[in-house]
Amino acid sequence: MKCKLTGLEGKAVDAHIIPRSFFAIDPKDKVPLKIVSNVSDEYTRRSFKGIYDRTIVTEEGEKLFSPWDDYGCEILLKRVDELELIHDERRVVAYQHQEYDYAKLKLFFLAVLWRAAVSSHPFFAKVELGAHETRIREALLSSDPGDSDFYPVCLAIFHDRREGPGMMDAFPERYDGIRYYRFYLSSYIVYFKVDQQLAKEPFRSVQLAPQRPLIIIARELSRSKELPIMKWLAKEARDKGASP
């Protein structure tokens, strides 16, 4: 096949759009991840492997992603206990890593966004980058994460999650007229700005940036809009007899 990343012919591989590690945070846990979708003809599924696509890259193309995927899993999953709390007088408002590798983490997120955009999997059908796809592809090929305003990334986390991991499909949304894509990576929520306008506050202050801590906004799943949606979709799946 022709690799969508390198443009070269090679052997196709099962490329994970989101690394497999995010579908099973604890390898000792025997409970698979819930994949919850409101895409037509899709339904709640359970998976130990995650979502992958054989139409994206060849073996050589996949190798380019490996260091970034490994670092994303390390900093967001394996080192989660190192996160420092940021709180006001009443509650935790955010977490932070004082030091992290901006380039590796930004490239990890850009790779997730790009793979979703070029994937044929219906779970990512709402991710359409248009001309932005070429710019992000070129950044990946040159291992250039750009500055903080190059397709900015903001992070949040459901820090009260108690019901087991789950993911909903990615979708576009607007904040103050600026286009973002929202992704779910297990307990994390990732906001990608895909718009020519500069990000506005409060996004601009918390987006990934060199020479400053990694900030992760704290959100409560129990009070979120996502929880009733996930419960409703899961019920619909049960009623339709979706197999685990």
75-126: per-residue pLDDT in tens? Answer: 999 998 899 998 877 788 889 999 999 999 999 999 999 999 999 988 899 9
Q: What is the mean pLDDT of residues 1-13?
A: 95
Angstrom distance (rounded) from CA 202 to CA 221: 20
Q: How do beta strands 52-53 and 15-16 pair?
A: antiparallel
Alpha-carbon Rg of the chain, whole angstroms?
Answer: 18
Q: Which phi and psi angles does 33 have, rounded to 5°?
A: -70, 145
Please tell me the least confidently modeled range out of 43-47, 181-185, 201-205: 43-47
What number is the average pLDDT over the span 134-138?
Answer: 98
Question: For residue 44, is pLDDT > 50?
Answer: no
Measured CA to CA, the distance from residue 146 to residue 208 in angstroms comes to 11
Q: Please, what is the Cα angle at 101 between 99 and 92, to 5 degrees?
A: 45
| Mean pLDDT across 20-28 | 63
Task: Name the pTM for this structure.
Answer: 0.84
pLDDT value of residue 225: 58
The contacts of residue 153 (CB under 8 Å, 6+ apart) are 106, 109, 190, 191, 192, 193, 207, 208
Closest CA to 185 of 208, 161, 202, 201: 161
pLDDT of residue 30 exceeding 70, the answer is: no
In this model, does residue 64 exceed pLDDT 60? yes
Give 101: exposed, middle or buried? Use CB within 10 Å, 0-12, 13-18, 19+.
Answer: middle
124-151 mean pLDDT: 97
Mean pLDDT of 180-194: 93
- Separate counts of helices (H) and strands (E) for the chain: 5, 12
pLDDT tens digits, residue range 191-227?
999 999 999 998 999 999 998 999 998 887 555 555 4
Phi-psi region at 19: left, alpha or beta (left = phi > 0; alpha = psi -120 to 50): beta
Helix (H) or strand (E) run with residue 118 in it = helix 102-118
Q: What pLDDT sits at residue 220? A: 72
The predicted model gives 145-169 an average pLDDT of 80
Residue-averaged pLDDT of the chain: 82
In this structure, the strands spanning 33-36 and 166-168 are parallel
Does 34 have pLDDT greater than 90? no
Q: What percent of the chain has pLDDT over 90?
A: 59
Of 215, 197, 216, 98, the C-alpha closest to 159 is 216
